[in-house]
Amino acid sequence: MHSLRSLRRIISIFSHINPTFRTVMTSSNECSAGIIVIGDEILKGQTADTNSHFICKHLFSWGVKVKRISVVGDDLQTIAKEISDFSQKFTHVITTGGIGPTHDDVTFEGVAQAFGDKLSPNPDIVKLCKEYFGAEDMSSPKMKLAMVPSTARLVYGVTKKTGEKNKFPLVVIRNVCVFPGVPSILERSFVTLEDLFKNPAGKCYMEEIYVEKDEVSIAAVLTEFDDKHRREVTLGSYPDFTNSFYKVKLTLESNKADFLSQAKRSLIDKLPEGSVVNFDKDPVANAADRVFSVLQSQTIDKPFRDKLQHSINIIEQSLEKYGLDETCIGFNGGKDCTAILHLFHAVIKRKYPDYADKLKALYIRSKLPFPEVEQFIQVSRDRYNLDMLNFNGRIRDCLGDLRAQQPNIKAVVMGTRNTDPYSSHLEGFSMTDTDWPQFMRVNPMLGWTYSDVWFFLRSLYIPYCSLYDRGYTSLGSMNNTHPNPVLQFIDDRGVVCYKPAYLLQEGCKERDGRNT
């Protein structure tokens, strides 16, 4: 009873701020939002819009349904009309962009025009402009930020963990919230304003199912499920033609958590047996827990668990002897390097959970690198927070350059296996040859087989270079590397295709796609 009174009081308060709020909330208990992205640079493709994605993700978690996203240019009349229309349709209207000091920043003016208001200097923002931007008087371009609709109110977000109030306020006019367009500024501000946007009627819950079947093959099951549950559950189906681990992502949304769990189980039971993938959306963040759980798993063969434990022991010994400041990891985008990078990252996160600095990674670029490899390396750099040390040329010369530029580095962790060329004699710790620049080569994976590498990558859902899904089993340069002929087959159309690398059964034929 008390919660109902509280809800009605909240609705009453908000209805004075936004006349449409009462209608939206009482008709369906739904809290909605419309996002207006403002800027010619977005429409011209000069700047990518990341703000709407960020906003949608957070609003969903707060129980707010985004109904529409609009992108408009820096045109006053267009902005005013869009704001007026959105304000009447949605509980919250969120604008991004167009509030800077230049002539084309007309968002505040557009909001004022939408509501028949006028611009006037807000005393609090005037003070902030003087304090932080050095604006001396109202003639300064920087003071344009302080010219807001006269009916505007200021909302100061609060950081949940510290309780600290934001220095800069959000400008709100009726149900329109005006955010800056700079992503870093918007993101810092937006996450502190949960209480402003959160749906008082409750959050929306979502479950995801990842399926290793194409969308057509499961369409009948999805249609049957939707016909039966559409009043309580919203079902979405999203094919992914590039993911290495699944083909379709299914989403189930509902404001009833218990019912949603039951519905998910029901749908899984109806999908083809063995088609549901226990996909890990963030294997890097979960690396320590997932990798070390393999050691305890009785469903995984003991020989591999023993190899994994030995590899972890080698890495831990290396860290004890050299430390992270004297260590870098070799990474060229190949499958072995990807496996050792993930394992190295997992050990560091377990050993130093608060470590946040970049890990040094050595990349010696081949003469003709595949674009897919270069792209994967760049993505991996950001994914694992790497400080890439890039060199071109012969390995010996590059190691000499590494010694000259990074004299503190003494050890290089490598993904070498003893079946690699010229590697059968190596041990877990092996110095480079005497006539080479002197580094300790740390080799945690010497005893791993080809199938071990793929089991590790696939079972932990670790992203790897897309070339491996196209039949390449060992990567070198573009002039000496081809899809492995062992994996070749002719499809139903008579077209020559290649199975993915992880389906190669004979590890001894790993390099059959290499000229050298």
Checking if the pLDDT of 80 tops 50, the result is: yes
Write down which residue in 168, 196, 224 finishes a domain.
Answer: 196
| DSSP character string of 243-254 | -SS-SEEEEEEE
Q: Are 363 and 389 in contact (CB under 8 A)?
A: yes
299 and 446 part of one domain: yes
Q: Is residue 241 part of a domain?
A: yes
160: confidence class by pLDDT, cuts 50, 70, 90: confident
3-state secondary structure of 442: strand
Question: Residue 136 has what pLDDT?
Answer: 74
Q: Are 444 and 343 in contact (CB under 8 A)?
A: yes
98 and 46 in one domain? Answer: yes
Q: Does residue 263 lie in a domain region?
A: yes
Residue 217 pLDDT grade (very low, low, confident, very high; cuts 50, 70, 90) = very high
Same domain, 122 and 97: yes
Backbone φ, ψ for residue 200 (5° rounding)? -70, -15
Q: To the nearest whole percent, how much of the chain has pLDDT over 90?
A: 81
- Among residues 240, 259, 277, which one ends one of the domains? 277
pLDDT digits (tens, 9 = 90+) for 263-283: 999 999 999 999 999 999 999
Domain-located, residue 26 = no
49 is a domain residue: yes
pLDDT at 256: 83
Residue 117 has pLDDT above 50, yes or no: yes
300 assigned to some structural domain: yes
Q: d(Cα 84, Cα 154) in Å, to the nearest integer? A: 20
Beta pairing partners, 412: 328, 441
217: phi then psi, degrees, rounded to nearest 5:
-70, -20
State percent of the chain over pLDDT 70. 94
Q: In which element (H, E) is residue 263 found?
A: helix 257-270
> Considering the domain boundaries, does residue 211 fall inside one?
yes
| Torsion over CA: 492, 496, 499, 505 (sign) | positive
Q: Which two tokens stand for residue 398?
A: 């590059």
Q: Is the pLDDT of residue 303 over 90?
A: yes
Across 444-451, average pLDDT: 97
Claim to verify: residue 172 and residue 270 sit in the same structural domain: no
- CATH of residue 108's domain is 3.40.980.10
Distance of CA 318 to the CA centre of its chain: 31
Q: What is the pLDDT of residues 384-417, one digit of tens each?
A: 999 999 999 999 999 999 999 999 999 999 999 9
Answer yes or no: are the C-beta atoms of 143 and 99 closer than 8 Å.
no
In three-state secondary structure terms, 399 is: helix
Q: Compute, in degrees rounded to 10, the torsion defined by CA atoms 110, 116, 120, 123.
A: -100
**Phi-psi bin for 402: left (phi > 0), alpha (psi -120 to 50), beta?**
alpha
For residue 5, what pLDDT is reported? 40
User: What are the Cα distances from residue 168, in Å, to 52, 108, 250, 382, 434?
Assistant: 21, 16, 40, 30, 61
* Domain match, 428 and 340 both: yes
Same domain? For 351 and 495 the reply is no
Residue 37 lies in a domain: yes
Q: Is residue 323 part of a domain?
A: yes
Residues 229 and 324 in one domain: no
The region of weakest confidence among 131-135, 168-172, 192-196 is 131-135
Instruction: Tell me: do 428 and 505 sit in the same domain.
Output: no
Cβ burial of 274 (10 Å; 0-12, 13-18, 19+) is exposed
Q: Can you give the pLDDT at residue 29?
A: 59
> What's the mean pLDDT when you consider all of the chain?
91
pLDDT in tens, 341-390: 999 999 999 999 999 899 999 999 988 999 999 999 999 999 999 999 99
Residue where a domain terminates, one of 221, 244, 277 = 277
CA distance 179 to 191: 12
Domain co-membership, 308 together with 442? yes
Per-residue b/e over 115-130, b at no fewer than 16 CB within 10 Å?
bebebeebeebbebbb
**pLDDT by residue (tens digit) across 90-102?**
999 999 999 988 8
Q: Are 237 and 222 in contact (CB under 8 A)?
A: yes
Q: Which domain holds residue 350?
A: 286-451
Amino acid at 337: C
Query: Which pLDDT score, from 0 to 100, does residue 257 have?
Result: 85
| 306 pLDDT tier (thresholds 50, 70, 90) | very high
Q: Are 269 and 234 in contact (CB under 8 A)?
A: no
Quickly list DSSP for 293-336.
Answer: HHHH-TTS-HHHHHHHHHHHHHHHHHHHHH-GGGEEEE--SSHH
- Please write the tens of the pLDDT for every residue from 221-261: 999 999 999 888 999 999 999 999 999 999 999 888 888 99
Report the C-alpha gap between 331 and 329 in whole angstroms: 6
Residues whose CB falls within 8 Å of the CB of residue 219, separated by 6 or more in sequence, listed in order: none
| Residue 106 shares a structural domain with residue 214 | no
Same domain, 438 and 487: no
Has residue 9 got a pLDDT over 70? no
Distances (CA, A) of 114 to 78, 87, 106, 168, 267: 10, 9, 12, 24, 46
Q: What is the pTM of this model?
A: 0.76
Lowest mean pLDDT across 36-45, 161-170, 194-203: 194-203
138 and 259 both lie in a single domain: no
Give dist(CA 82, CA 78) in Å, integer.
6
Specify the pLDDT at position 107: 97
Distance CA 244, CA 463 (A): 8
Counted domains in the chain: 4
Span 122-147, mean pLDDT? 86
Q: What is the pLDDT of residue 92?
A: 97
